[in-house]
Amino acid sequence: MKKQDTRASRRRSAERMQEICRYIEGHSDEPLSLESLAERAGMSRFYFQRTFKRLVGVTPKQYHDAQRIRNLKTHLKHSADVTAAVFDAGFGSSSRVYERADTRLGMTPKTYRSGGEAVRITYVSFQTPLGLLMVGATDRGLCFVQFGDSHEQLEAMLRAEYPNAAHEPMREPQDPHFIAWVQALQRNLSGEQPDLDLPADIRATAFQLRVWNYLQSIPYGEVRSYGEVARAIGQPAAARAVAHACSNNVLALVIPCHRVIRESGELGGYKWGLPRKRALIDRERQVSVSNR
């Protein structure tokens, strides 16, 4: 009886958080306080914050910001100027947008509106135990981490992903931040650095943000099914959408989509090839066992 009560309680919490998500999406241009959202959910502020983060994968404020940025992207494409778009999306000032741009929009509003022009992406490719890996980054963080068969193929993928940016191979003197990010990825692949906490400079929808944030919370050496991820972010019917979000990931390892498999235990898809996915999962499990 207690198990049934627990399941029913969890289901009600998930449904309530979904209702709050829909409310935030419909009122993203308005100021929404944690207190008002908690009151709408019928919970204390502390319990609401904790429940929302557990089920959705981000805090209510982060979800609200993501929705505003999503609206801003739409307004930037149709408004006559950037300032009008900023206020139409519900931001009180341009400075508020720029504070969030590097983690939510991936670039400043003006740059996004111009299709990424004036963004400089430095890149380098190097051999790893799983094949050639290219790392690309702006001055804000990583924007491209992908496996490929050749440097030329990866360079073409980078240009296709960011067609309006300026692409520049890494040169001397090497940027110390860039080198540190590359070395962290190398250590991760060798099992020396299980946890990656690297800055990202990518664009994402609110749904992708929720999925990718959750993927980064999956412990090293463990896996989750697409359905489990969907349920964890409060959208149990969105397993296929989760798989699609994984396929749109441009930051291999940093956003560990290789840790998501089918309910049956089969690997499912992986944009960089199933042999790599299997190798990554096996390596992480081996390292986790040896570290116990």
Task: Output DSSP code: residue 259.
Answer: G
Percent of residues in the chain assigned helix, strand, coil, to nearest 5: 55, 10, 35
* H or E segment and range at residue 142: strand 142-148
Ramachandran area for residue 155 (φ above 0: left; ψ -120 to 50: alpha; else beta):
alpha
Angle among Cα 81, 82, 88 to the nearest 5 degrees reads 95
- Cα–Cα distances (Å) from 131 to 34, 150, 186, 195, 228, in that order, read 46, 9, 12, 21, 30
- Which residues are catalytically annotated? 257
Q: CA-to-CA distance for 248 and 23, rounded, in angstroms? A: 27
User: What Å distances lie between residue 87 and 21, 102, 128, CA to CA?
Assistant: 22, 19, 46
260's tokens: 């998501």
